[in-house]
Amino acid sequence: MSGWTNWAGTASADPRRVHTPRSVAEIAKVVADVAVNGRRVRARGSGHSFTAIAAGDSDAIDLGAWTGIAAVDAETRRVAVRSGTPLHRLNAELDALGLAMTNLGDIDAQTIAGAVSTGTHGTGARFGGISTQIARLELVLADGSVATCSPDQRPELFHAARVGLGALGVITHVTLQCEPAFVLSAQERPEPLEQVLEGFDEFTQENDHFEFYWFPYGKNALVKRNNRLPAGAERKPLSKARQFLDYEIMENVAFGALCRIGRTVPRLVRPLGKFASAVLSAREYSDVSHRVFVTHRGVRFVESEFAIPRESLRDVLRELRALVPRLEQPVTFPVEVRVAAADDIWLSTAQGRDSAYIAIHQFVGMPYREYFAGFASIVAEVGGRPHWGKMHDLDAVALAKLYPHFDDFLRVRKEVDPAGVFSNAYLDRVLGPAGSQ
């Protein structure tokens, strides 16, 4: 037996057996053997999802030995990546090739398969999530066969598998449409929240990548504007000393200390939150894209995030700001707001609509259920769609009303995994038991 716990400590599993395949053939053999013996299997990556999406008590496939770039087409800039490759390694390997992904989130601990399977995204009104950068996927299906899908080859499987929750098969290769490496200019500074909300539409349109963090109990937001510089632009990164001070000391060590004080003495959270909001500092620099997109997160937390129609953002934040002071337990972590362009992926949270994302957090070990439930009630009024890798309580009945292609996804799932070889308790809740559709 081999115990497993995710990064946030919100999910655990003790699978019967953990497999560590090193080839597509080995992955296919594991799946075929599991299916023949009537068991279930889940693939797992870095464990950075906050839900139990990767958990299972039967067999597990650990993709940690199945990593790296498998092929590069220099002419088209398409790169085939083995599914267990962590994003931080992928970013470094692409950079060495003079390439980059078009957009990234702010965490790079996830594997590429985990990131696309749960709908990981960054920010940018003209940009989609990571899954929109996929040109082709290869999966091992429940019968042990290997399937390739793209817009032209098995297109329905492609529509489903780009955000497939691990319900359709074990992804073995992700082929990404990359672009030449580029430099981003970064401007980060505190601004009054009211001013940020008033200019939100304008800010999202005039910046390539725009986001902000609101610190509960404070009046300021930390606003981040990242914009592409012309090809050949010189990098002007932060000095090593400034990086260490701002990101390691202030955003991790000092912030972690504030959180621990608040967890021990909850009545101090509100004044500490006001203090944190008041001492936010400004910085400007430029660097290769992935070094700007990604921020090291050393303080552990739990998180819930919903995608909402972009035009609903102000109303939702107004309700959320009214909720926070009424909570029995105070909130230590900031609220993160990002945007993404509409896409056509069946279970993408941005499917069919330009979206704003609101993510709420609580320091690990502090009460969060009242806060998360209140937030879920607010976003439900505007058709909020929960991030598949973050905490929520919705089930298949509720989710089916939020996704026009939900039934299409279930149909494809039934075709490729009729016996539910890849199912687990989380998928039974959010998709319904396999074979019941």
Read off the pLDDT of residues 235-261 as tens digits, 9 standing for 90 and up. 998 877 777 666 676 677 678 788 888
Q: Please give the Cα distance from 73 to 96 (Å, whole number).
A: 15
Is the separation of the CB atoms in 383 and 368 below 8 Å? no
Q: Please give the Cα distance from 31 to 19 (Å, whole number).
A: 10
Q: What is the pTM of this model?
A: 0.95
At residue 1 the predicted structure's pLDDT band, cuts being 50, 70 and 90, is very low
Q: Which phi and psi angles does 266 have, rounded to 5°?
A: -55, -30
At residue 266 the predicted structure's pLDDT band, cuts being 50, 70 and 90, is confident
pLDDT at 429 over 80: yes
Q: Which phi and psi angles does 139 have, rounded to 5°?
A: -135, 150
More confident residue, 425 or 262: 425
**pLDDT given at position 246:** 66
Give residue limits of the domains in the chain.
184-386
Q: Which phi and psi angles does 56 have, rounded to 5°?
A: -170, 150
Is the separation of the CB atoms in 137 and 171 below 8 Å? yes
Percent of the chain at pLDDT > 70 equals 97
CATH of 184-386, one of 3.40.50.720, 1.10.3720.10, 3.30.9.90, 3.40.462.10: 3.40.462.10
Strand runs labelled E in 83-229: 99-100, 134-140, 146-149, 170-177, 179-180, 183-192, 209-214, 220-228
Q: What is the mean pLDDT of residues 139-150?
A: 98
Read off the pLDDT of residues 93-129 as tens digits, 9 standing for 90 and up. 999 999 999 999 999 999 999 999 999 999 999 999 9
- 9: number of Cβ within 10 Å: 13
pLDDT at 209 over 80: yes
Q: Are strands 183-192 and 12-13 parallel, antiparallel or unpaired?
A: unpaired
Among 263-267, 300-304, 331-335, 413-417, the range scoring the smallest mean pLDDT is 263-267
Q: Please give the Cα distance from 38 to 388 (Å, whole number).
A: 27
Is the separation of the CB atoms in 147 and 155 below 8 Å? no
SS3 of 134, please? strand
Give one DSSP letter per residue of 57-114, joined into a string: SSEEEEGGGS-SEEEEETTTTEEEEETT-BHHHHHHHHHHTTEE-S---S---SBHHH
Is the separation of the CB atoms in 129 and 348 below 8 Å? yes
pLDDT at 402 over 80: yes
**pLDDT given at position 74:** 95
Q: Please give the Cα distance from 359 to 313 (Å, whole number).
A: 12
Distances, alpha carbon 346 to alpha carbons 133, 159, 192, 281, 412, in Å: 15, 6, 37, 40, 11
Read off the pLDDT of residues 57-94 as tens digits, 9 standing for 90 and up. 899 999 999 999 999 999 999 999 999 999 999 999 99
Please state, rounded to an integer, the average pLDDT across all residues of the chain.
Answer: 94
